[in-house]
Amino acid sequence: MPYAHPVTLANHVTVTVTGWGLGDVASHAADVQAVIDALTAPLRGTPSPLLLGAVVPVLARVLQLSLTRPEDAQHLAICDLAPLLQAIWDVNGLADLAKKSLARQLRAQTRFRQGSPPSP
């Protein structure tokens, strides 16, 4: 898993997306969790937790957090979101996190249906 991923934007400018550090995640925890929940919502069969009016400011903050040079955000356009989100997903290993989270959720649901107490 690479820690940095270059992304060429629609305007042919290349920006670099880097993985989040622990301090970054801690100081932007609500935004990071909202984006992770929004990206994994289809896998969980739930609607996105981000309301339409809230999605753009949250994405803007997460994108700036993810860019090696936050000032490169001035070059971003809405059509760049898909490749940028894919790069964020990849460099942060969110696929593994989503798999583990979904597996834990499924185990908890199964235990609940069977009447067993949830495990930590």
| Domain assignment present for 103 | no
pLDDT at 54: 75
Residues 19 and 92 sit within 8 Å (Cβ to Cβ)? yes
User: Looking at the predicted structure, is the pLDDT value of residue 8 above 90?
Assistant: yes
Alpha-carbon span 72 to 63, nearest angstrom: 10
- Please tell me the pTM assigned to this model: 0.75
| Domain assignment present for 107 | no
Residue 65 one-letter amino acid: L
Secondary structure class of 116 (helix, strand, coil): coil
Q: How many domains does the chain have?
A: 1
| Domain assignment present for 100 | no
| Domain assignment present for 118 | no
| Domain assignment present for 106 | no
Domain that holds residue 43: 4-93
Alpha-carbon span 112 to 118, nearest angstrom: 7
Question: Which residue would you say has higher pLDDT here, 73 or 112?
Answer: 73
Alpha-carbon span 28 to 12, nearest angstrom: 29
